[in-house]
Amino acid sequence: MKFPFILALDIFTVLQKVYGDSDAGCEQKTERNQCCVFPFTYHGEQHHTCTTGGPSNLHWCATTANYDRDGQWDICTGVKCYICTSDESWSDCESHQQSHHCPYSYDECLTLSKEEGSTNTTRLFQKRCTSNKLCAAHNPTCEGPDVIKCDFSCCMGDLCNTASSYEQLGSFGPLIFAACVYFMYI
């Protein structure tokens, strides 16, 4: 008999295959939620990543295999993160969080809580887009003589800075939990 956890992972894998992943096969998303087509032809050259110049000074890609012929393009986006800010609590921040396509150069999501002030303490709870450079062990957001406490974590992947791992499982979460409980008692 398989362990309950392994069986639950098997069930989750099957459900993903049955219901599919709408982003499967899409290497790079655009602002209009289209997929970039790589490689694409621009000025007779093949491009395998987003590029600058041409129709935009921002990073862009063709949404067909041949930009020269079709002229179809869009702005490339970075990772998709939850964004919110509060000076009260995580609950307050998460009550108005929104998912956001980050600019192309942002490849990670940040979760930050910070307290500062020598006389009056201010608090900051924030989720936002960031880059790998700012996610090193030393985060410049946490610098300053008045910083009392500063915790941050960075993650890679769309919507990875969610409130809990339960939310990441989406509608499959309760099913996986029920399968684990069921097989624990068999």
Quick one: pLDDT at residue 177? Answer: 46
Extract the tokens encoding 111. 């979760």
Q: pLDDT tens, 130-186?
A: 988 777 766 777 888 888 898 889 999 889 998 533 333 444 444 444 444 454 455
E strand spans, 131-166: 147-155
Domains of the chain: 40-75 (2.10.10), 78-162 (2.10.60.10)
Strands 77-86 and 98-103: antiparallel
Q: pLDDT tens, 51-98?
A: 998 898 889 999 999 999 999 999 999 889 999 999 999 999 999 999
Q: Tokens 């179809």 correspond to what residue?
A: 72
Contacts 24+ apart (CB under 8 A), 22-25: 23/158
The C-alpha atoms of residue 175 and residue 87 are separated, in whole angstroms, by: 36
